[in-house]
Amino acid sequence: MSLLLDRFRELAACIPANTAISFVNEKGRVAESMSRADVVSDMGEVAEFLRHHCGLEPGDRAILAYPSGLDFVRGLIGCLAAGVVPVPIYPPDPINPQKTVDRMQRVVASSGAKAVLTSRRYANARRLGTARSIVTGSTVGWPGDLPWHITSRGIGGRRMRGPGTPGAPGRGWSPSPDAPALLQYTSGSTSDPKGVVITHGNLAHQVDFNRRLLGLGLDARGVFWLPPYHDFGLISVILSGLAGSGEVTLMSPLTFLQRPALWFDVMDRVRATHTAAPKFAYELAVRKTTAEQRAAWDLSSLQVVMSAAEPVREDTTSRFLDAFSGTGLRRDAFCPAYGLAEHTVAVTMFGRSTLSVDRHQLETQRLAVPADGPGSQMLIGCGQVADDVDVRIVDPELHVPLADGQVGEIWVDSSKAASYWGLPDKSRDTFGARLAGSDDSRSYLRTGDLGLLHDGELYVCGRLKDLLILAGRNIHPQDIEESLRDCHPAIRPGGIAAFAVDAGDAGDVEGLAVLVEVKADIATEMLSGVADEVQAVVLKNHQLRCSAVVVAPPGSVSKTTSGKVQRARCRTRLLDGTLEAEELLVARLEDAGPPDVPDDELGTAGPVVTSAGAWPAAPGDPLLASVRDQVAAVFGIRAARVDIDQPLSEQGLDSVGFVKLASRLSQAFDRDVPPVDVFNHPTVRGLAHMLRDAEVAGCEHHPPQALLQHPNPARCGPAGDGDAASTRDSFEALLKGAITTGRISEGMHLPRSASQLRLAVQSESGARTWPTAVPTTFTSGPKAPHLIFLCTSVFSSGVHNYARIASEFRGVRAVSAIPLPGFARGEPLPDSPEAAVECLARIVVELVGDEPFVLAGQSSGGKFAYALGKHFEDVRNRNFAGVALLDSHKESDPELTELLTREILYDVYVESVGQDLFHATRLTAVVSWSDLLPNMYDGPLESDVLFVQCTRPWVMPYGAGDITYPATEPWSPSNTVRTVAVDHVSLLVEGAKPAAQILEEWISRG
């Protein structure tokens, strides 16, 4: 077993002209490739560059911040050859910089990195690193004093050649098997990133393991889109492919997400033998490819179709294989596998078995008891354990081995990683675990995953730390998430997270929370139905009730860079309020009172029908309807979803719920209803009969009329005060930060009930989360004229950016903001400057009618305001009260104009953020409006013009140097110039108050 660098050199000597690795673009065409000779030559050139130009020594750490492509591969292997320890990261997102740069800062601090390596294309993209902060007011903290080096081919028109001799690179340094080869940072689902130390010996073992088991010979042709920053794509694909004798074809994961069919187009064209992806990719392939496309593909050459990185599901496997049966894809090519970064990836491969087990036994006893039919659950095997890998199933608390068929933590010993970088205690606990009572000196890696062994096959059940213990049952959140995948058409694939929250009156029991993302174009009135459907499906499939359901827009579910759901992170964001109000559309919380149900819905003669069907109402029986209301209140769902004849335990009511229901019935009907009566009458109809029988028996304190009245609204309805205080506190926690983001105005009175607040959140956030060309009015007041802000043309264009400055005018004058048309899906984009200003003018006229108005805007928004003013003067011949330019400048530096070119916008948006339909719409709008901007008329206005100038420069990172924005020349001559001691990006945040004072003085000038 040779070390990796030696293997690369051996292959270059034997088959120098053979293609080793290629990268295809978004059209599936080969954009660049490396032969076996290129691998060694480029490896040596980058190694010499790092040593002699960058001053890096063996053992130094270097951050790899590259978009997908072969530049990443060159930087990676160059580090290995120079003895520099590469630290791959997902490149920070310049569109939302603070979130991702913060993570980069933590990795830099943890690793002690001395440099950042990147590509020429990303260096250009980095110029926009703080573009979004123009309107959000955030500041971007790139790692201070850390040099950035570009390792792309052709820098300065030449190849990077150091003093070494091509073809014999890196000979001055030879790694030992125990030397760190790379740091693989993993955030998992529960914690901050940890650097897994992977040695050269680990890599040699893993690539040899993959070569042998997967058959990576001369005829192997792999096609992959996996992210190169994650162990699956980094080690299992790139390094294993380079160490094999065949050819690897890569594409960007974002290209796959945008066009899943391209994955199969390329596999068909190159006659691929190997591919791999997480579970969600196979689900996406079924949904996003057509029968006609599949009929055209020949996938009969595929020998290995690996599914790993996520728990494999039987229904996903079956749907994929059934849908692709006409392509020639063999069912035995499908290859479930299991691995993790701490084990240098692979543990088992080639899962061939399935195991149908009793779900109840699995959840309550952690025991796999074979069973079929209702109540069973299908487990998918991840493969037999190889001879050189030792896998044990262990009780996670007692550290004793468990028998075949018992569920416990998976412990592994073979070529496990060395440690977590700089975390000796955590490393000892994770990498040095020992079996209790054993004399064996062998130590194990604690994977944190739950699984079982059956007939030598490993079955993975879920994460130990994600495990939910609800009503004495062990629930894997993946099972809940899987059951919700198709429950409503508005829910985004992969956008579901189930996790535990404190529930009960004292927060002393564990409850279930579900966070779901919905598609960007969903109508606001549908959101409540999504929450209803989630709760109904969880009740039906799992006999559990949700303590909280949050429906939110795309991007709200926290994930690792490899796409794994970070459930603990989602839970933290929900509880500490950092799931921002701008992301919150609907929340249903335990004990929030029953949702509003119209009276006619309870008394209709026929069944109540919802989007997914509902149980029949209780026509003509107020008592039955009242009991059902109480049950619905305990469940936290609409009454129409409660089956009046199905036992409540089967609908998800546990023992705690029975006690709560007894208490609510006692209060609502003013009589003692002990829990035993609820147990003995386990249906809504049975409870109603019980209460009616008590009345017929002559209970003095239950006159017949009282039983026919609706229960006490102060106790169970949203209209009264009752328990609203605690509910309101819960919602306040969820809405922490709403005022500062401008999603909910500072002067909004907190509603007196959960129902009212839910509607407020829905209307406030639903109206503004995805901007449309509809103006938002922030404030009103007696003074004229009406102040109207125009939004900017950058990525985060939205009316919310003016919320803070608008709040300064509350009670004084009306202030509104108009977003640019085309940023929301389905909105047409203007095709000329004239059409653009005409469209904006119509919106203004519809907003103010004949009333006077002032136009204003920050940055490019000021330029649109100016052009719109010129339109009102020259075309509409309408007077208005002037234009206010808030730090709107001419771009005197051509570099600044370059920042908004299509190429760089595409690089930044697609490579660093991800592109779904919603993002594509915004990207198109940014490019279109940026193209229109230079042609907007900037001649003199007859109306007065105010120029508010920031006095502090804003330094924007640009490659190896900086650009200072803005230039000193305003967009157009101004009658009045005033200054504010802030920079461009802070004007609407910390500069909001002084800027508002300037505006008010100028508008009131008479």
Other C-beta atoms closer than 10 Å to the C-beta of 511 total: 22
> Is 450 in contact with 409 (CB distance < 8 Å)?
yes
Q: Are residues 853 and 825 in the same domain?
A: yes
- Residue 459 three-state SS: strand
Q: Are residues 272 and 127 in the same domain?
A: yes
Q: Which residue has the higher pLDDT, 291 or 544?
A: 291
Q: Are residues 33 and 103 in the same domain?
A: yes
Model's pTM, two decimal places?
0.55
Query: What CATH code is carried by the domain that includes residue 388?
Result: 2.30.38.10
Q: Are residues 844 and 813 in the same domain?
A: yes
Q: Are residues 825 and 971 in the same domain?
A: yes
Tell me how far CA of residue 12 lies from CA of 214, 244, 849, 874, in angstroms. Answer: 22, 12, 75, 71
Q: Determine the average pLDDT of the residues in 3-27.
A: 93
In a domain, 203, yes or no: yes
Q: Which residue has the higher pLDDT, 386 or 239?
A: 239
In a domain, 343, yes or no: no
- How far apart (Å, rounded) are the C-alpha atoms in residues 184 and 177? 17
Partners of 979 in the β-ladder: 949
Q: Determine the average pLDDT of the residues in 625-646.
A: 82
List the Cα angle 67/69/75 in 5-degree steps: 85
Query: What CATH code is carried by the domain that includes residue 977?
Result: 3.40.50.1820
Sign of CA dihedral 312, 314, 319, 321: positive
Band (pLDDT 50/70/90 cuts) for residue 923 is low
In a domain, 565, yes or no: no
Band (pLDDT 50/70/90 cuts) for residue 957 is very low
Q: Please identify which residue in the block is written with the tokens 């673009």.
A: 25
- How far apart (Å, rounded) are the C-alpha atoms in residues 592 and 531? 14
- How far apart (Å, rounded) are the C-alpha atoms in residues 688 and 691? 5
Q: Please identify which residue in the block is written with the tokens 């213990």.
A: 469
Report the pLDDT value the prediction gives residue 279, as an integer from 0 to 100: 83
- How far apart (Å, rounded) are the C-alpha atoms in residues 650 and 669? 25
φ/ψ (deg, to 5) at 406: -95, 145
Band (pLDDT 50/70/90 cuts) for residue 395 is very high
Comparing CA positions, the residue from 314, 348, 370 lying closest to residue 449 is 348
pLDDT at 907 over 70: no
Q: Which residues constitute the domain of residue 433?
A: 351-463
Q: Which residue has the higher pLDDT, 766 or 624?
A: 624
Report the pLDDT value the prediction gives residue 130, as an integer from 0 to 100: 45
Q: Please identify which residue in the block is written with the tokens 């940023």.
A: 823
- How far apart (Å, rounded) are the C-alpha atoms in residues 328 and 873? 68
Q: Determine the average pLDDT of the residues in 894-920.
A: 42
User: pLDDT per residue over 170-181, tens digit each?
Assistant: 455 678 888 999
> Is 243 in contact with 269 (CB distance < 8 Å)?
no
The three state secondary structure string of 287-314 is HHCCHHHHHHCCCCCCCEEEECCCCCCH
The three state secondary structure string of 7-24 is HHHHHHHHCCCCEEEEEE
Query: What CATH code is carried by the domain that includes residue 20?
Result: 3.40.50.12780
Other C-beta atoms closer than 10 Å to the C-beta of 683 total: 20
Band (pLDDT 50/70/90 cuts) for residue 485 is confident
Other C-beta atoms closer than 10 Å to the C-beta of 854 total: 25
Q: Are residues 786 and 928 in the same domain?
A: yes
Could you tell me what percent of the chain has a pLDDT over 90? 29
- Between the two ends of the chain, the Cα-to-Cα distance in Å is 86
Could you tell me what percent of the chain has a pLDDT over 70? 71
pLDDT at 721 over 90: no
In a domain, 739, yes or no: no
Report the pLDDT value the prediction gives residue 505, as an integer from 0 to 100: 45
- How far apart (Å, rounded) are the C-alpha atoms in residues 345 and 338? 8
Q: Going by C-beta distance under 8 Å and a sequence separation of 6 or more, which residues neighbour residue 69?
A: 23, 31, 32, 119, 121, 250, 252
Report the pLDDT value the prediction gives residue 637, as an integer from 0 to 100: 72
Q: Determine the average pLDDT of the residues in 223-241.
A: 91
pLDDT at 76 over 90: yes
Q: Are residues 37 and 85 in the same domain?
A: yes
Band (pLDDT 50/70/90 cuts) for residue 403 is very high
Q: Are residues 298 and 331 in the same domain?
A: yes
> Is 796 in contact with 555 (CB distance < 8 Å)?
no
54 backbone φψ class: left, alpha, beta (φ>0; ψ -120 to 50): alpha
Domain boundary among 303, 338, 373: 338
> Is 409 in contact with 393 (CB distance < 8 Å)?
yes
- How far apart (Å, rounded) are the C-alpha atoms in residues 530 and 517? 10
pLDDT at 858 over 80: yes
Report the pLDDT value the prediction gives residue 518, as an integer from 0 to 100: 87
Q: Are residues 186 and 281 in the same domain?
A: yes
Report the pLDDT value the prediction gives residue 22, as an integer from 0 to 100: 97
Report the pLDDT value the prediction gives residue 922, as an integer from 0 to 100: 58
User: pLDDT per residue over 723-771, tens digit each?
Assistant: 333 333 333 333 333 333 333 333 333 332 333 333 333 333 333 333 3
Band (pLDDT 50/70/90 cuts) for residue 966 is low
pLDDT at 583 over 80: no
Domain boundary among 463, 496, 518: 463
- Residue 604 three-state SS: coil
Q: Are residues 83 and 153 in the same domain?
A: yes
Q: Are residues 684 and 813 in the same domain?
A: no
- How far apart (Å, rounded) are the C-alpha atoms in residues 54 and 155? 14
φ/ψ (deg, to 5) at 306: -85, 140
User: Across all residues in the chain, what is the average pLDDT?
Assistant: 76
pLDDT at 95 over 70: no
Report the pLDDT value the prediction gives residue 532, as an integer from 0 to 100: 80
Concatenate the DSSP letters of all residues of 331-362 into one string: GGGEEE-EEEGGGTEEEEE----EEEEEHHHH
In a domain, 206, yes or no: yes
Report the pLDDT value the prediction gives residue 250, as an integer from 0 to 100: 97
Comparing CA positions, the residue from 699, 661, 697 lying closest to residue 680 is 661
How many domains does the chain fold into? 4
Q: Are residues 229 and 358 in the same domain?
A: no
Assess whether the previous peptide bond of 785 is cis (omega < 30° from 0).
yes
Strand 408-413, strand 390-394: pairing: antiparallel
- How far apart (Å, rounded) are the C-alpha atoms in residues 53 and 75? 14
> 321 is written with which tokens?
């294989």
Strand 783-790, strand 853-858: pairing: parallel
Q: Determine the average pLDDT of the residues in 540-559.
A: 82
**Which DSSP helix (H) or strand (E) runs through 194?**
strand 194-199
Domain boundary among 429, 463, 497: 463
Q: Determine the average pLDDT of the residues in 927-943.
A: 74
> Is 848 in contact with 878 (CB distance < 8 Å)?
no
In a domain, 873, yes or no: yes
In a domain, 657, yes or no: yes
What's the CA dihedral at 928, 931, 934, 938 to 10 degrees?
A: -20
Q: Determine the average pLDDT of the residues in 325-347.
A: 89
In a domain, 479, yes or no: no
Q: Which residue has the higher pLDDT, 686 or 910?
A: 686
Report the pLDDT value the prediction gives residue 139, as an integer from 0 to 100: 56
